[in-house]
Chain A
Amino acid sequence: MTAPSPTPAVGPSAGGSTDPGASGSSAPSAVSTVAPTTAPPTSLDKTAAAAIQVALASENSAVWAYSLVAAFDPDNADTASAMRDAHMVRRDDAAERLTVAKVKPNPAAPAYKLPKPVTDVKSARALAMTIESDNAAAWLGVVGSTDDSTLRSYALAGLTDAAVRLTTWKKLAKASTLTVPFPGQQSSD
């Protein structure tokens, strides 16, 4: 999904957090977001800062787009709303990380250009899948942008959340394949 020019293209989005250390008996939540447990670093190199800006843009576009998803998929409006909230949390946290590192977070665009028109439930769910696929790619980019283990863990949580939400939408859409082997590395769904 992209924002209208001159707003930079937006790709990724994210949401519910997972606890990898949890027992195997409980599945990762599709919407809950794990709050960062450590203070963000006070400095970021340019590569990491640029990657976080991309992730932030992805979060902004996801927050915007989920309102549309909810409107066209009313049966799952609560799910969409919860996922939107999760994106907002991660968006705010990403912006804070940049601010603490004295990097100005790029503002959200007023609107975003959709890859395909949303006119019904099917297209709304397709948009949700695109949001999460792009979001996973953005956070995977952050993982590969830094050697800082704390930032990597934070980005991995974003990646995992997005992947789980993508699978959740695939389940709702009764897709034939619910998973992708390498979330964040595929172009879309």
Chain B
Amino acid sequence: MMGGVSQPSPTRIPRRAVLIGVGSAAALVTAGCNPFSTTKTTRTITATAPPPVDPMTNLIATTQLHLLRIQTAVARGGTLAKTLTPLRDDRQDHLDALRKELARTSPEAPAATAAPATGTVPLPAEPASVLAVIRDDAANAQVQFTDATSTVSRYRAQLLASIAACLATHRTVLA
């Protein structure tokens, strides 16, 4: 009988441990984490978006400028005044309505409470050229009001759409 000392069996890694290790490494890689990486980690911080800009202020400014031009032209008298007086009244109504609407939602806004603009603005000498300037004003304002209609509340959309339609009629009158 051979006596002998039994040799210790080599250390064996349990299959379960191997599987756990491989699985963990795969999970880290999948998650975008490389435990052996030496690069610095980038952290993304999402900043809060600034509040949307209220289009009313710009629309009021545009209307005010155009109204000043029409008022200056009306002050010259003649047939030009006869044509432009009803349009001036419309634009004044627009300005009043826009300020009222802005004051309703943003009473602290300067444009809502600003004093009416006064003074004159330069205009060409020729009546035909004056009409062209005012016609262009109406076209540009129509674009502004049309664009603004798509992003505002339903109530405001109706106000701005109605003004845009009125500006289209001004272009018809001035054509």
Contacts and interface: CB of A to CB of B under 8 A. Distances in A.
B164 interface: yes
Contact of B162 (A145, A168, A183): A183
Contacts of B165: 136, 156, 159-160, 162-164, 183-184
A181 B92 CA distance: 9
B158 interface: yes
Given A178-B173, A179-B87, A181-B93, A160 B168 contact: yes
Interface in B28-70: none
B86 interface: yes
A38 interface: no
B135 A24 contact: yes
- Chain B's interface size range is 35 or more
B146 A20 contact: yes
Given A25-B135, A149-B150, A178-B86, A156 B161 contact: yes
A155 to B, nearest CB: 7
Interface string B115-159: 000000000000000001001111110110010011100110111
Nearest to A186: B162
B101 interface: no
A152 B150 contact: yes
B166 A183 contact: yes
A28 B90 contact: no
Interface of A is mostly: loop
Interface centre among B169, B171, B173 (most CB of A within 10 A): B169
Given A25-B132, A152-B157, A159-B162, 12 more contacts: A20-B142, A27-B172, A144-B157, A156-B146, A156-B161, A163-B168, A178-B86, A179-B166, A179-B170, A180-B166, A184-B158, A184-B162
Interface of B: 86-87, 89-90, 93-94, 97, 132, 135-140, 142-143, 146, 149-151, 154-155, 157-159, 161-166, 168-175
25 contacts: A18-B142, A20-B164, A21-B143, A24-B135, A24-B136, A26-B175, A27-B174, A28-B168, A140-B162, A143-B149, A143-B154, A149-B150, A153-B150, A159-B162, A164-B168, A167-B169, A171-B173, A178-B173, A179-B90, A181-B90, A182-B163, A182-B166, A183-B166, A183-B169, A184-B162
